[in-house]
Amino acid sequence: KQEVTQIPAALSVPEGENLVLNCSFTDSAIYNLQWFRQDPGKGLTSLLLIQSSQREQTSGRLNASLDKSSGRSTLYIAASQPGDSATYLCVRRGNEKLTFGTGTRLTIIP
């Protein structure tokens, strides 16, 4: 069974700190990996998409990396802000279906 695990399940850090969210998947045969954020009661917002041929993607304060050989992806958030508080989901795409990670609930403390 394809699984995507995110560690930690919850994280609280003071504002301004850099942080890393981790995602691991059991099946390295992926097409791409996508990071989403979900705010309470809201839908999913796409943050970054990494193709299987890529190693990383950057958008503003966010940087996502992909290591297929080890089955891992990380999302790096620089200079965290209270507005970054949300649940972050990594989503692995193999063939047509998506496999969702378990999510990390991030709280940035002002």
Partner 1 sequence: DAGVIQSPRHEVTEMGQEVTLRCKPISGHDYLFWYRQTMMRGLELLIYFNNNVPIDDSGMPEDRFSAKMPNASFSTLKIQPSEPRDSAVYFCASSPGQRIMLNYGYTFGSGTRLTVV
Which residues contact partner 1 (rule: CB under 8 A)?
A: 31-32, 34, 36, 41-46, 49, 51-52, 89, 91, 93, 96-98, 100, 102-103
Q: Are 104 and 11 in contact (CB under 8 A)?
A: yes
CB closer to partner 1, 8 vs 16: 8
Instruction: Tell me how far, at minimum, the Cβ of 103 lies from partner 1, in Å.
Output: 7
Instruction: Tell me how far, at minimum, the Cβ of 43 lies from partner 1, in Å.
Output: 4
Q: Are 92 and 2 in contact (CB under 8 A)?
A: yes
Q: Are 38 and 67 in contact (CB under 8 A)?
A: no
CB closer to partner 1, 52 vs 74: 52
Q: Are 34 and 90 in contact (CB under 8 A)?
A: yes
CB closer to partner 1, 22 vs 32: 32
Length of the chain: 110
